[in-house]
Structure 1
């Protein structure tokens, strides 16, 4: 195998003689060689040099080889790790392979065996990278409308993606739950010059406030209780590629300033460290609520919004593009037929009418799940009985409830405006502040009323209000809405103890 000097091998072994011998054997084959004599140093070299292959001894003082392997695979799952093991330790090598190691060889080993194993690892890595590139090229061939619909609205979204993808613009994507925000972000990445680098997804709404900083920026060993070893954050993992921050509106206010600083300086600092690390990452964010509204209610920083809002894409909900429902039904039908090895021919007219009149609060994701279940249950064609959702009943039930709740909120909002004007009496009055207080008051009333009508069930209340569960959970906590029993739901000041 003709080697390229750009192909590098990192040897991690506490035995200096072993490192020297492997360096000699592989160096004469044309590989660039790096060595380290303990696990921590090995990880530092790995993070700095990004070697093509790692040769790792399992038995080392300090951080053992198994822990080093796990860290390497967490940081770069594609990097092949070859294990060195002594005679009689085959079980440890097998365990290492279960954790992602490529292969192993025993001490003492044959020099030719080492070279062949390393060359095969490099060839297989190159093959995986080529397959990934081919998939990326296929994603160029398949425009978004093939995956989300063929309506004028989706064609417009596709044009926006094609326009912004080749740039380094930060992009804000708005869309309801299930509308395809991550798909849009992935498409932006796939069409960009960064397409061969990582695409990393972080759901800002699912990570506790106490952990979000360490998740994004990483931490050093001993930075906090339980930090037994250092860990790279998502910014480092996404280096060179794209970091997708979903539900950015749920990012705690305490983290927003830190994120702004990283976006401006392009450097991060792990928890427990004074060292700054340069990061080259494109950031794409998404949310189901416009950030302008969160700014008005005091939940989002204006300066961070201005830094993020270089380009905006809004995905229309499925209920506003009925033409896509027919297209997507056929597409999901074909895909599920192949998956289940079935031959469901189509959808009856009555069934299609039901699908077209439904409001689709879960958007494309909900439609996909409905069709998949229907194909599973149907024999020849999909009929209303196969939908497993009482579409007409749901629509009739949801609208009055939502309308009654909205009416309650409207009455309270009107009262709030009058109250604000009366209290301020023209002194230090700000329309922005008055509107923000009005919005906050109306939101609290809407959510409280929805929770009362659902007996305190946050999932059902979220469905009525057409928001996702994470947003509901966040707002209940933020507004201090106390849920004690199914019949006792009260508001309290956010400053009170929860």
Structure 2
């Protein structure tokens, strides 16, 4: 987008003249202007500004309440619509940031000579990535919700809502911490089984030789230590929904048993010849692209194609930049409610910092970071210095390479490289504390140890 024209909504003549003067000095622009009342009543008439500055310095300004209506108003303009900039005096109200930050390309405090120039540079970067005014879509269950401004998720969310009301098995693919378990809960809550049990199973946390027993149960005496009958997860789930996370850790024979359950509902508990019948719905999840595992013989193609008919991929947070701040504000609000404390505002620098970070740990890392910031906030204001050094100095958000066109073997190699790099990065951030690393990555210590051995990760760097 060519940032060649600007407009401002404000009742402050001094602010308008100051902004007009700075823009003329920078680009020779002519600043269009509108009073707040004209904007709210629809009397504003513009050709099409490329940047629209909103005077949000007064926390009681009616522009704050009007933010949710801005997208509809701006879509009446020709083209892709302007890049929005919020002008504030200091901090941004937390409740407003949830709505506003997904719309605004930047927050600016006009407190130094270079403020306008710096903001325009940030706007230029945002305008090249955005296509039009962002929309928000939501998938809501009875207790959980998944909302996004990321356009690539709009169609999958619509389809997922339709599939949720069926009995189809579903495959969820996404990096660790992207919200697969939350999405599975929403699917359950939208289904006719919502009043039945939701049974999450972390397959990666189960010892390999006990997975059969955990999933399908066993009878007394079927192996050493089996001193009583045990009900398996498929039975315990009843007529509800079972989520099998980290499905990629299952061995070939276990995958064959799962395929049989998906196709017929039948299985035998360990040590029993009696066939049992599962009545639950199955959702499976993985943080790996299973196509690559098929090529290497680690995953059965028949099971994959049984699941592939209803596969949904959740993009990592680095590919959802418009969702970062609304999620962050939600996590801050949740922490404040739990702890009985109040946070009323955040620094614009804080918002820019979290929006520019790549969040390799995805939503889980963001949640932990926001809870810590809320806990240590001073004077009910969240400042940028409350962020961890890993966020302030960590990798900036950047487009990720597209690997879907690779061959199966090359794709598996690319996935392995990405996974290894993520584990190594988190190990360094956690000072090689393996228990803390496993928690941060959202996997069991057993899974972490297996992957350390698999990728031959050097632990002597500490």
TM-score relative to the length of structure 2: 0.59
Match of 1:254 in 2: 253
Aligned counterparts of 1:444 and 1:453: Cα–Cα separation in 2: 14
Q: Deviations over 1:350-381 (max 9, x none)?
A: 11111111111111121111111111111321
Match of 1:40 in 2: none
Preserved contact between residue 223 and residue 271 of structure 1 (Cα < 8 Å) = yes
Q: Does 1:144 align with 2:117?
A: no
Q: What displacement does 1:272 show?
A: 1.3
2:394 is aligned with 1:394: yes
Residue 384 of structure 1: aligned partner: 384
Q: Secondary structure at the match of 2:267?
A: strand
Change (3 A) 1:446 1:372: closer
1:478–1:299 CA distance, 2 compared to 1 (3 A): farther
- Which has the higher relative contact order, 1 or 2, with Cα contacts under 8 A spaced 6 or more apart? 2
Structure 1: which 5+ residue stretches go unaligned? 1-137, 407-430, 488-498
Matches within 5 A, 1:53-68: none
Against the structure 1 CA distance between its residues 454 and 371, is the aligned structure 2 distance closer, same or farther, given a 3 Å change threshold? closer
What is the aligned partner in structure 2 of residue 226 from structure 1?
A: 225
Q: Does the Cα contact within 8 Å between 1:267 and 1:278 map onto a contact in 2?
A: yes
**Partner secondary structure for residue 298 of structure 2:** coil
**Residues 248-397 of structure 1 correspond to what in structure 2 (within 5 A)?**
248-378=247-377, 379-395=379-395
Q: CA deviation at 1:450?
A: 8.2
Distance 2:419 2:145 in 1: 36
Deviations 1:29-56 (A, max 9, x none): xxxxxxxxxxxxxxxxxxxxxxxxxxxx
TM-score (norm 1): 0.55
* 1:324–1:232 Cα change, 3 Å: same
CA distance in 1: counterparts of 2:425 and 2:313, whole angstroms: 32
**Any idea what the Cα deviations from partners look like across 1:160-191, whole Å, max 9, x if unmatched?**
32110111111111111111101111111111
Q: Is the 8 A contact 2:144 2:185 kept in 1?
A: no
Matched, 1:212 2:238: no
- Mapped pair 1:486 → 2:460: yes
Task: State the Cα deviation string for residues 214-250 of structure 1 (Å, max 9, x = none).
Answer: 0001001111111111011001011211110001112
Is the Cα contact below 8 Å between 1:202 and 1:245 reproduced in 2?
yes
* CA positional deviation for 1:468: 6.1
**CA-to-partner distance for each residue in 1:278-318, whole Å, 9 max, x for gaps?**
11121101111111111122210101111122211111211
TM-align CA RMSD: 3.8
Equivalent position of 2:409 in the other structure: 436
Whether the 8 Å contact between 2:177 and 2:442 is mirrored in structure 1 is no
Distance 1:450 1:383 in 2: 29
Pairwise mapping of residues 396-415 of structure 1 onto structure 2 (< 5 A)? Answer: none
Q: Is the 8 A contact 2:205 2:447 kept in 1?
A: no
Q: Is the 8 A contact 1:176 1:467 kept in 2?
A: no
Q: Aligned in 2, Cα 1:220/1:159: closer, same or farther, shift over 3 Å?
A: same
Query: How many angstroms apart in 2 are the aligned matches of 1:226 and 1:281?
Result: 28
**Distance apart, 1:473 and its partner CA:** 3.8
Q: Secondary structure at the match of 2:332?
A: helix
| Bigger share in helix | 1
Alignment partners' CA distance in 2, 1:382 and 1:264: 52
Q: Secondary structure at the match of 1:232?
A: coil
- CA offset digits 1:404-444 (Å, max 9, x no partner): xx9xxxxxxxxxxxxxxxxxxxxxxxx97xx5389459948
Q: Classify 1:197/1:475 alpha carbon distance in 2 versus 1 (closer, same or farther; 3 Å).
A: same
Contact 2:247-2:286 at 8 Å conserved across structures: yes
SS of the equivalent of 1:243 reads: strand
- Answer yes or no: is the 8 Å Cα contact 1:149–1:325 preserved in 2: no
- How many residue pairs get aligned? The number is 313
Instruction: Please say which structure displays the higher CA radius of gyration.
Output: 1
Q: How many Å apart are 1:257 and its aligned residue?
A: 1.4
**Counterpart for residue 158 of structure 1:** 157
- Helix, strand or coil: the match of 1:195? coil
Give the whole-Å Cα distance in 1 for the aligned partners of 2:211 and 2:156.
Answer: 31
**Correspondence for 1:175:** 174
What is the rounded CA distance, in whole Å, between the counterparts of 2:332 and 2:252 in structure 1?
Answer: 43
In structure 1, what is the equivalent of residue 243 of structure 2?
244
CA distance 1:263–1:452, shift in 2 (3 Å): closer
Unaligned 5+ segments in structure 2 are 1-138
Determine the C-alpha separation between the residues in 2 that align with 1:181 and 1:361. Answer: 16
2-structure distance, mates of 1:218, 1:254: 16
Cα deviations by residue, 1:140-171 (Å, 9 ceiling, x for unpaired): 467734xx444434544432321101111111
Distance 2:418 2:324 in 1: 34
